[in-house]
DNA sequence: CCTAAGACTTTGTTCAACAATCGACCGTAG
DNA sequence: CTACGGTCGATTGTTGAACAAAGTCTTAGG
């Protein structure tokens, strides 16, 4: 069973079990290379709204700001481009990606495929959903919502869906889906009030968890489908609104964005 | 009104319509950066079998061989790693990826999802398959097979499937699928005689095309499902065989491959 | 046989420089 | 006034050398 996990391998339950507890530690972020750290910072700045969609990111400026060399910045850019967070054009550099309505539609098409397939798998008994992990995530989201930490609510909600998809135990599905979840966060940025977006999804996730825990998987699947339709519609509407108001037709040359 | 718009209407038989033909030029292959060219060469060497799976690729050696700087080589490595053709481990560099049976199973799970969904889409009338493009690809494959150019047969066969998937008109599905097709070519490498693998798939693709052209999409879907099962089985078997024979347990440290 | 210290190799990162390309500015011609 | 064409400055693309950090191999010793 080749589980290509970069970090500790879970098969460490043999021999002198003294170190086993250490293996379960949160692994305090190795973040090995400078490029990864740089990418992390840029990513964070994007999701905090400091680097808004459309913002060009010059290599020299980032190099100075992050205190790393230009080569390292370029390396970080490449990572973020492959995550679809930046768009790249030769000799023109990178800019923070604009998520269009078309993009959202495309992302949700993939979400439906992967998430509904996961439920189908569970219905057919091919794999099992991790009910307790799912429940924990809902609880975490509820606590964050109660405390008003809406950004965290959004993040945890996405992990909730990742956990569902993980039931298929497909490394590639997990990877692609994770990237989709990162990308869709660009769509969250158009909401000035995150509560508006995430607020009522928390109780619905709780309901989903209840259905799954109760074994009512068919009902859960139906609910999930509705959930996805509505989420897509809500983000699409928000994007349409914001693109009308703030004239963002400044998309310059050509029509689309390159660099996928 | 001499606005030289790129896509003027076809009524170009008047005035100074002289430039309109230029708009239809094939746009002469950019291949802009040295890193992309380097990646292209390495990719080609992998699929030609000169860089076999498991081969480590030292930066310095490639830098000298390709006549580009080490930084550019690293850039190329990163591209190929994100295509899943190379595996990467910090401070240990990259090596050509081993495709395991588990990988093949995972890839084919995705293939089924995407390809069968494309047929379902066509069945529901949501999108249409490009029958002529599909037919052209089969013809090309037939000609290559007749001439014994089996590597080309494999490539064209993959493009045949890409064309089917393209019916869904989803940029992200296309991208992910294209990457899967690249990756599965690593599985082709275990066949010493490519004809053994690709040979009888060509007539089956012809049959598939016939069914699609005839509008018999349900039958096509069923055939495609069988096709995929058999292809998976054939590659899996070949990998099991080759990993038994040539002791490839030289997978050194740890059990898996990192870097996905 | 196994272990450990040191030598060697390869990767990670930086820096400075130059070439290639892009975008804007600015005259000139119609 | 607008359209065209060239110049210039800024940014990206790429190089080569250099050094630090981590891994691998060799060798000496228990």
Handedness of CA A223, B175, A169, A198 (dihedral sign): negative
Residue of B nearest to A11 (CA): B255
Q: Please compute the mean of the pLDDT values over residues B42-63 and round it to a whole number.
A: 94
Residue A141 belongs to what domain range?
101-245
Q: Please compute the mean of the pLDDT values over residues B55-72 and round it to a whole number.
A: 94
Q: Which chain A residues in 2-41 lie under 8 Å from chain B, judged by CB atoms?
A: 2-6, 9, 11, 32-33
Measured between alpha carbons, how far apart are the two ends of chain A, in Å?
Answer: 32
- Report the number of distinct structural domains present in chain A: 2
- A86, A107: one domain: no
Q: Which of B76, B96, B116 is the last residue of a domain?
A: B96
Quick check: B32 pLDDT over 80? no
- A64, A156: one domain: no
Nearest to residue B175, comparing CAs of A119, A69, A103, A157? Answer: A103
Q: Which of A75, A96, A117 is the last residue of a domain?
A: A96
pLDDT grade, residue A196 (50/70/90)? confident
Place of tokens 């997978």: B251
pLDDT tens, residue by residue, A111-126 = 999 999 999 999 999 9
- Within-domain flag for A151: yes
Distance in Å, alpha carbon of B91 to nearest chain A alpha carbon: 10
B169 close contact with A: CB closer than 8 A: no
Q: Where are the beta strands (DSSP E) in chain B?
A: 56-57, 86-89, 93-96
Quick check: B97 pLDDT over 80? yes
Q: Which of B113, B115, B168 to mutate to test the interface with A (most CBs of A within 10 A)?
A: B113
Distance in Å, alpha carbon of B175 to nearest chain A alpha carbon: 8
- Within-domain flag for B13: no
What per-residue confidence (pLDDT) applies to A82?
85
Instruction: Please give the protein residue whose CA is closest to the C1' of the nucleotide D12.
Output: A91
Residue A25 backbone phi and psi in degrees, to 5? -60, 155
- B131, B213: one domain: yes
Which residues in chain B have their CB less than 8 angstroms from residue A4's CB? 256-260
Can you tell me the distance from the alpha carbon of A82 to that of B258, in angstroms, rounded to the nearest whole number? 18
Q: Which of A65, A80, A96 is the last residue of a domain?
A: A96
What per-residue confidence (pLDDT) applies to A18?
34
- Closest Cβ–Cβ partner in A6, A90, A113 for B258: A6
What is the DSSP secondary-structure string of A166-182? GGG--HHHHHHHHHHHH
What is the domain-level CATH number for residue A72?
1.10.10.10
What per-residue confidence (pLDDT) applies to B111?
98
- Within-domain flag for B20: no
What per-residue confidence (pLDDT) applies to A257?
53
Which residues in chain B have their CB less than 8 angstroms from residue A166's CB? none
- A163, A239: one domain: yes
What per-residue confidence (pLDDT) applies to B194?
85
- Closest Cβ–Cβ partner in A75, A113, A170 for B117: A113
Can you tell me the distance from the alpha carbon of B199 to that of A31, in angstroms, rounded to the nearest whole number? 47
Q: Please compute the mean of the pLDDT values over residues A90-118 and round it to a whole number.
A: 95
- A77, A170: one domain: no
Say yes or no for a CB contact (<8 Å) between A176 and B175: no
Nucleotides of D under 7 A from a protein CB: 4, 11-18, 21-24
Say yes or no for a CB contact (<8 Å) between B113 and A113: yes
What is the DSSP secondary-structure string of A14-30? SSSGGGHHHHTS-TT--
The pairing of beta strand A56-57 with beta strand B56-57: unpaired
- A113, A164: one domain: yes
pLDDT grade, residue B5 (50/70/90)? very low
- Within-domain flag for B19: no
- A238, A110: one domain: yes
Q: What is the CA radius of gyration of chain A?
A: 20
Can you tell me the distance from the alpha carbon of B139 to that of A194, in angstroms, rounded to the nearest whole number? 54
What is the domain-level CATH number for residue B108?
1.20.120.530
- A117, A212: one domain: yes
- A84, A127: one domain: no
Nearest to residue A174, comparing CAs of B236, B176, B88? Answer: B176
What per-residue confidence (pLDDT) applies to A79?
87
Please count the other Cβ atoms lying within 10 Å of the Cβ belonging to residue B1.
3
Distance in Å, alpha carbon of B140 to nearest chain A alpha carbon: 29
- A92, A105: one domain: no
pLDDT tens, residue by residue, A5-37 = 333 333 333 333 333 333 333 333 445 688 888
What per-residue confidence (pLDDT) applies to A208?
97
- Within-domain flag for B4: no
Q: Which residues pair with B86 in a beta bridge?
A: B96
pLDDT tens, residue by residue, B159-195 = 999 999 999 999 999 999 999 999 999 999 999 888 8
Quick check: A247 pLDDT over 70? no
Place of tokens 């033909």: B21
Can you tell me the distance from the alpha carbon of B103 to that of A61, in angstroms, rounded to the nearest whole number? 41
Which residues in chain A have their CB less than 8 angstroms from residue B102's CB? 1-2
A25 burial (CB, 10 Å; 0-12 / 13-18 / 19+) is exposed
Nearest DNA or RNA nucleotide to A72 (CA to C1') = C13
Say yes or no for a CB contact (<8 Å) between B256 and A82: no
Quick check: A75 pLDDT over 90? no
- Within-domain flag for B72: yes
Residue of B nearest to A89 (CA): B32
- Which ipTM did the prediction report? 0.84
Can you tell me the distance from the alpha carbon of B115 to that of B180, in angstroms, rounded to the nearest whole number? 12
- B88, B138: one domain: no
- B68, B112: one domain: no
pLDDT tens, residue by residue, B223-243 = 999 999 999 999 999 999 887
Quick check: B22 pLDDT over 70? no
- Return the half-sphere exposure (C-beta side, CA atoms, 13 A cut-off) of residue B257: 24
What's the mean pLDDT when you consider all of chain B?
85
- Within-domain flag for B38: yes
Can you tell me the distance from the alpha carbon of B242 to that of A185, in angstroms, rounded to the nearest whole number? 44
pLDDT tens, residue by residue, A131-168 = 999 999 999 999 999 999 999 999 999 999 999 999 99
Cα dihedral: B98, B99, B102, B103 (round 10): 120
- Within-domain flag for A209: yes
Nucleotides of C under 7 A from a protein CB: 10-17, 20-23
Residue of B nearest to A33 (CA): B90
């Amino acid at each position: 069973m080749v589980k290509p996990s970069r970090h500790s391998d879970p098969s460490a339950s043999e021999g002198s079990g003294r170190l086993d507890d250490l293996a379960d530690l949160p692994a305090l972020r190795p973040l090995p290379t400078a490029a990864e750290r740089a990418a992390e910072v840029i990513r964070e700045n994007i999701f905090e709204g400091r680097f808004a969609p459309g913002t060009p990111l010059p290599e020299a400026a980032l190099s100075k700001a992050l205190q790393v060399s230009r080569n390292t910045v370029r390396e970080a850019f490449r990572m973020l481009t492959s995550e679809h967070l930046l768009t790249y054009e030769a000799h023109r550099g990178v800019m923070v990606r604009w998520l269009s309505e078309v993009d959202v539609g495309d992302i949700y098409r993939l979400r439906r495929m992967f998430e509904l397939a996961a439920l189908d798998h569970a219905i057919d008994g091919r794999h099992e959903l991790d009910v307790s992990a799912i429940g924990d995530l809902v609880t975490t989201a509820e606590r964050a919502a109660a405390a008003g930490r809406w950004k965290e609510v959004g993040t945890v909600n996405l992990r909730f869906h990742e956990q569902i998809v993980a039931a298929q135990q497909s490394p590639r599905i997990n990877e692609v889906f994770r990237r989709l979840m990162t990308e869709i966060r660009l769509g969250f940025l158009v909401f000035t009030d995150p509560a508006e977006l995430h607020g009522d999804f928390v109780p619905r996730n709780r309901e989903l968890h209840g259905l799954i825990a109760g074994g009512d998987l068919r009902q859960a699947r139906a609910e999930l489908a509705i959930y996805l339709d509505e989420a897509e519609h809500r983000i699409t509407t928000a994007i349409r609104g914001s693109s009308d108001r703030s004239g963002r037709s400044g998309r310059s040359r050509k029509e689309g964005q390159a660099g996928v």
